[in-house]
Structure 1
């Protein structure tokens, strides 16, 4: 299992490139994100797939809490920072391409699959950006507490979901910022993560500080279509597999990464314990079947294929 160490930096987010299966970006922070700066690492798997090589690291004056690759420009990534900025970098360039400023607190989620970019912040808002012109197009203010995640639907370019410390999952249309299209009380706790299924147009998952992962059917939002209990602490990220509609993964503050296959029940297929601190970042490789990357506060990045899926 290839592993990479980010010395003095605690991992918050890891993402595989959308176009190159061996390329990754990792967003990190000093001092657990409480003080100090942040570093974005551009990494690459070796041709043999046995080691992870550092291509470049880029420094920012505040912590970096999320990273996403551009869906339209190869080698370009955006990060959410503790000073409220969204920073756009291109691999190989030392200086940022753009710095987007409109949030008043930490930006803990960014998503950029197409031309427009989403950012979610502890200031309780989600913002829609045109990164090329550096213009904030809309502000979505429907949550009463900090917004942990906002992510576009892979099936409807004008739709996105957001989750918050207020316990709600909200669905939005980009053209209507004044109110959400749907509001769901998803957890009796903070909701830290959400993810759309890439293979089923009606499915979406949420994860909360209650240790639960819940699935939602957009055709009937009155109750969850499944609830998974397997994590002993808060679930920081959840993500459907892009290769199998019934498979999903989650990382938790209990130091684990867990894999479920809904076709085989609600118990985890596999519990992976290779971190010694909070496991914070998670991503499936869309270009390589069942390959996962995770990262944690122990400064380690791992790339692996769960044994249960081989």
Structure 2
């Protein structure tokens, strides 16, 4: 494979990219016309072959597409989160129309996530301040979790189907446990203020700003299922252990010049994550957990391992390939481009 593969989406500004969990040669991109401000959306289902990246199927929506998730039960199906509040389930073997349309959110649906454990539900989050849990087999949601403010990102714990996380405009990371009584908290078990400064600053570099800022993205560590990374408007990436919510961040990563739009833990190493930013860069990090302890501070200063700056607009999506040698990533940006490249080359300074 060449060092970097490219696919262009002329007229469409990508918002999210996901590798198929079934094939390393299949990728999907959710996009919007006019940067998602007004107009249609287009879902690109792409295949990697000897001729490079080629379109297998496209699906158009009446509104912008902000996120997507592959089905965990059908290799040909995938969800798209839309600006009109709907979530659409498409099948690559069925032309044009969605096989299911889920529409309860009152404002933009900004995030969608399929349960990786039981595989029989998915979650969505919206600017309307709610998370909804769905079954792909029924049109009505199973459960609604109120967050109360614009919720940019929701996700399932990788090992426990009852635990769901979310981040939102109020600078908090929330954990819901669906096994708890509904009560006044609606299954909310943990609420971590992301912006609270650590009790002892990390040894290296400046202390990050402590003013609350919108949290735009988060992801669960694939090897340590109590650790979550967050990123957002204040440009700082932080990791938290949800078993100890009052302890503040475990590690802090500083380097982006503008908001962190999307981040993802590596499926191949416990301390590696990648982030995409409005500063047009993609950065590879270690959270410091595999390094010797920094005695003077309980907070580790994560280290930037490499930077990819081939995008020429906001970078809005990033995903790791689950298969192969363990370094391939896909990134998309408002420059109407999907780039596929080997993060291992960043470590060698070649990207």
Band the TM-score falls in, shorter-chain normalisation? over 0.9
- Which residue of structure 2 aligns with residue 98 of structure 1? 100
Deviation at 1:72, TM superposition (A): 1.1
- Give the TM-score normalised by the residue count of structure 2: 0.85
Q: Distance in 2 between matches of 1:192 and 1:7?
A: 26
Q: Distance in 1 between matches of 2:179 and 2:112?
A: 19
Deviation at 1:135, TM superposition (A): 2.3
Q: Distance in 1 between matches of 2:6 and 2:167?
A: 31
Q: Distance in 2 between matches of 1:231 and 1:134?
A: 40
Whether 2:188 is the aligned partner of 1:180: answer yes
Deviation at 1:140, TM superposition (A): 0.5
For 1:113-163, what per-residue CA distance to the aligned partner results, in whole angstroms no more than 9, with x for missing partners?
Answer: 31101000000100000111222001000x232000000000111111000
- Which residue of structure 2 aligns with residue 308 of structure 1? 346
- The equivalences for 1:284-295 within 5 A come to 284-288=320-324, 289-295=326-332
Indicate the larger mover: 214-223 or 230-239: 214-223
Computing the radius of gyration over CA atoms, which structure comes out larger, 1 or 2? 2
SS of 1:71 mapped into structure 2: coil
- Are the equivalent residues in 2 in contact too, given 1:195–1:240 (CA < 8 A)? yes
SS of 1:294 mapped into structure 2: strand
Indicate the larger mover: 294-303 or 264-273: 264-273
Equivalenced residue count is 307
Q: Distance in 1 between matches of 2:16 and 2:333?
A: 8
Q: Distance in 1 between matches of 2:66 and 2:178?
A: 24
For 1:230-289, what per-residue CA distance to the aligned partner results, in whole angstroms no more than 9, with x for missing partners?
Answer: 100000011110000010000000000000123466231111101111000110111231
Whether 2:271 is the aligned partner of 1:249: answer no
Deviation at 1:73, TM superposition (A): 1.1
- Are the equivalent residues in 2 in contact too, given 1:15–1:67 (CA < 8 A)? yes
- Which residue of structure 2 aligns with residue 7 of structure 1? 10
- Are the equivalent residues in 2 in contact too, given 1:172–1:180 (CA < 8 A)? yes
- Give the TM-score normalised by the residue count of structure 1: 0.96
Deviation at 1:201, TM superposition (A): 2.1
Whether 2:248 is the aligned partner of 1:214: answer no
Structure 2 residues without counterparts, runs of 5 or longer:
196-211, 292-300
SS of 2:84 mapped into structure 1: coil
Whether 2:304 is the aligned partner of 1:299: answer no
- Are the equivalent residues in 2 in contact too, given 1:68–1:79 (CA < 8 A)? yes
- Which residue of structure 2 aligns with residue 227 of structure 1? 252
Whether 2:224 is the aligned partner of 1:200: answer yes
- Are the equivalent residues in 1 in contact too, given 2:285–2:302 (CA < 8 A)? yes
Deviation at 1:179, TM superposition (A): 4.0
Structure 1 residues without counterparts, runs of 5 or longer:
none
For 1:159-179, what per-residue CA distance to the aligned partner results, in whole angstroms no more than 9, with x for missing partners?
Answer: 110000111100002345514
- Are the equivalent residues in 2 in contact too, given 1:144–1:166 (CA < 8 A)? no
- Are the equivalent residues in 1 in contact too, given 2:330–2:339 (CA < 8 A)? yes
| Residue of structure 2 aligned with 1:37, choices 33, 37, 40 | 40
- Are the equivalent residues in 2 in contact too, given 1:259–1:269 (CA < 8 A)? yes
Deviation at 1:74, TM superposition (A): 1.1
SS of 1:248 mapped into structure 2: strand
- RMSD, aligned CA: 1.3
For 1:24-72, what per-residue CA distance to the aligned partner results, in whole angstroms no more than 9, with x for missing partners?
Answer: 010000011010000000001114xx72111111100000000100111
